[in-house]
Amino acid sequence: MKIVVGHLYPEYLNIYADRGNIAVLQRRAAWRGHELEVQAVSADDTLEPGAHDLLYIGGGQDREQALVAHDLKGKRNQLLAAADGGAAVLAVCGGYQLLGRFYRFANGEELPGVGLFPLHTIAGERRMIGDILLDTELVPGERRTIAGFENHAGRTYLDEGAEPFGRVVAGFGNDGASGAEGCRVGRAIGTYLHGPLLPRNPWLADWLLAHAVAHRTGGEAPILAPLTDDLERDAHAVSAQRARDRGGRF
């Protein structure tokens, strides 16, 4: 079947190899006989609820975030309707921040967010950089690890009762203190873990694809045919060990 991905602001929010996440989704869909059509959704484009099975928004610096924030706020109702309608969402770093309520610069100015995730972000003085390892449970009863790389100065604070994407085993996470990383609302995931997020964590790519298929069919998320993933498992193991070598922070 055809799976349609809406890639938000690819010309602005595309640092740290985030486009590689799209390439992984395309390849893993193709290996199973599906077509992944990627549609750029940029400034002044209309975001049609129901048109996309998966929405992806990548990372960017403060300047790029400022360029798209108000246009994205204008798409707020359509984006929330898409998520409420069952579309999967992956938001990375700067995109993750903009899907919260607001991002506040050090000088007190604020960029508006869309409020999909129950959180806000405040700029910090020291960047939090390095390999990071998470423990997560996207499927009840199935604990998995996520290995990646973080590079952000923003401190993100979840509302009380909000569900993080994962708990930090080693690294900084949302704010360097709480032990939480990212946020999850239904089929929507926000995270500071940059590309190559999905190459190192193929099971997460498959989770997103399965929920995109569920949106397309209107049914439950299917169990996708397994792939070999030997290289991907090796990449995950190397990244996870680098994070552990940093020492557990929580």
Residues serving a catalytic function are 93, 194
Q: Fill in the DSSP letter of residue 225.
A: P
Q: CB neighbours of 226 closer than 8 A, spacing ≥ 6? A: none
Which pair of tokens denotes residue 171?
């690294």
The H or E element that residue 96 is part of is: helix 94-98
Say whether 38 sits in a helix, a strand or coil: strand
- For residues 111 and 104, what is the distance between their CA atoms, to the nearest angstrom? 6
Residue 105, number of CB atoms within 10 A of its CB = 14
Token pair 């609820």 is at which residue? 49
- For residues 164 and 180, what is the distance between their CA atoms, to the nearest angstrom? 6
CA atoms within 13 A on the CB side of 109: 7
Burial class, 62, CB count within 10 angstroms (exposed 0-12 / middle 13-18 / buried 19+): middle
Q: Tell which residue, 117, 119, 203, 132, has the closest CA to residue 167.
A: 132
